[in-house]
């Protein structure tokens, strides 16, 4: 290797003064970075590692990989209603590929800038390609969106268009019948490689949502975590799921597979009292992000899938239960 450890971090990732967000009181280059949360603020912390071959393909564009490595961490902050402050980067690299590093840094720092989140610490080691990020955000004391706040009678909501990332993954795996058109593949691939963390939504949900979680392992799997933590159940109406046009062109069973057990969506699933419906729909409009109501929280534990209309007149047929053949996506089991 031609570049030493210190050169590498400094050269590709540190920004000159005045460029990029400044969140640290003492920035990189000391033993620790020092950050100063605002008075009355709590600190939200999350960590996620992406490993080549497991979380991304070796052929992925490095700028998209840089984006995604931070996006999946910002998504955790979004799910807590926390505002991004700063992050650390632990890079394990098989070799020093300058073009790759420049691309990776560009994608990473562009997303960081967009969310006013400073890279405050780094560590580089030689080894099989892996990217570890720990992100820190702030949230007013007592306003964190938790998994444990869902109450019976709450509505169940999801943001955006889940399912596209799984569609792209199956296309890469060569298992998708019929094949995607080139345009549809690009759309799905972008969803998989460049997820947009729902940070603005998370901030806006403070005081509106009773509970939230981000969807990384599939809608039903992550909803299950929320339900267990809240000690409640839920009904999910299949016909209410938001179906992106690319997904709408697929066979129905494939739509359901991708929507319910997709993974890598980085949308927010959240619950809210019914009186907030109008405000939430208006919020979705103002963010340019569809917010879809797909069911309700029940006092009875467990998850029930229903087929039919979400809102029926008293004399119409209520939605009917269907069997659940989807399970969570687990990186250790798949």
Residue 177, classed as helix, strand or coil, is: coil
Cβ neighbours of 176 (radius 10 Å): 17
Q: Which of 62, 122, 233, 242 binds a second copy (CB under 8 A)?
A: 122
Shortest spacing between CB 223 and a second copy, in angstroms:
13
List the interface residues with a second copy, window 9-38 (CB under 8 A).
25-26, 29-37
169 binds a second copy (CB under 8 A): no
Closer of 120 and 297 to a second copy (Cβ):
120
Instruction: Say how far apart CA 330 and CA 334 lie, in whole Å.
Output: 6
Spatial neighbors of 304 by CB under 8 A, at least 6 apart, are: 233, 234, 235, 236, 298, 321
List the interface residues with a second copy, window 56-85 (CB under 8 A).
76-77, 79-80, 82
List the interface residues with a second copy, window 216-235 (CB under 8 A).
229
What the block records as the tokens of 232 is 């409640």
* CA-based radius of gyration for the chain: 21
162 binds a second copy (CB under 8 A): no
86 binds a second copy (CB under 8 A): yes
DSSP string, 236-262: EEGGGS---HHHHTS-HHHHHHHHHH-
Q: Which of 21, 121, 162, 242 binds a second copy (CB under 8 A)?
A: 121
Beta carbons of 131 and 71 less than 8 angstroms apart:
no
Instruction: Say how far apart CA 197 and CA 265 lie, in whole Å.
Output: 9
Instruction: Say how far apart CA 212 and CA 222 lie, in whole Å.
Output: 10
Instruction: Say how far apart CA 58 and CA 12 lie, in whole Å.
Output: 20
261 binds a second copy (CB under 8 A): no
Contact segment (CB under 8 A) with a second copy among 14-22, 160-168, 211-219, 303-311 equals 211-219
90 binds a second copy (CB under 8 A): yes
Q: Which of 60, 114, 146, 283 binds a second copy (CB under 8 A)?
A: 146
Contact segment (CB under 8 A) with a second copy among 128-136, 174-182, 259-267, 318-326 equals 128-136
What the block records as the tokens of 172 is 């890469």
Q: Which of 67, 70, 124, 169 binds a second copy (CB under 8 A)?
A: 124
212 binds a second copy (CB under 8 A): yes
Beta bridge partners of 83: 138
Q: Which of 48, 264, 265, 267 binds a second copy (CB under 8 A)?
A: 48
43 binds a second copy (CB under 8 A): yes
């Amino acid at each position: 290797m031609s570049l030493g450890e210190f050169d590498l971090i400094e050269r590709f990732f540190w920004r000159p003064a005045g460029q990029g967000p400044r969140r640290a009181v003492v920035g990189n280059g000391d033993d620790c970075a020092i950050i100063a949360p605002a008075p009355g603020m709590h600190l939200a912390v999350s960590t996620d590692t992406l490993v080549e071959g497991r979380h991304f393909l070796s052929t992925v564009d490095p700028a998209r990989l840089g984006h995604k490595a931070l996006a999946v961490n910002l998504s955790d902050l979004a799910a807590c209603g926390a505002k991004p402050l700063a992050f650390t980067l632990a890079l394990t690299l098989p070799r020093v590929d300058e073009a790759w590093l420049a691309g990776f840094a560009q994608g990473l720092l562009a997303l960081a800038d967009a969310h006013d989140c400073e890279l405050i610490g780094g560590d580089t080691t030689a080894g099989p390609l892996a990217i570890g990020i720990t992100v820190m955000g702030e949230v007013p004391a007592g306003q964190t969106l938790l998994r444990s706040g869902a109450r019976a009678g709450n509505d169940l909501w999801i943001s955006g268009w889940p399912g596209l990332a799984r569609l792209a993954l199956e296309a890469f795996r060569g298992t998708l019948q019929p094949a995607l058109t080139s345009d549809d593949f690009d759309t799905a691939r972008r969803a998989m490689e460049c997820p947009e963390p729902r940070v603005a939504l998370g901030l806006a949900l403070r005081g509106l949502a009773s509970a939230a979680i981000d969807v990384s392992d599939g809608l039903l799997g992550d909803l299950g975590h929320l339900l267990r933590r809240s000690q409640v159940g839920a009904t999910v109406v299949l016909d209410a799921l938001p179906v992106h046009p690319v997904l709408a062109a697929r066979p129905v069973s494939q739509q359901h597979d991708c929507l319910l057990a997709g993974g890598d969506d980085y949308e927010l699933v959240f619950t809210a009292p019914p009186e907030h419906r109008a405000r939430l729909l208006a919020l979705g409009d103002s963010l340019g992000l569809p917010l879809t109501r797909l069911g309700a929280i029940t006092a009875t534990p467990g998850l029930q899938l229903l087929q039919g209309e979400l809102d029926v007149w008293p004399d119409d047929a209520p939605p009917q239960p269907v069997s659940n053949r989807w399970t969570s996506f687990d990186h250790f089991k798949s």
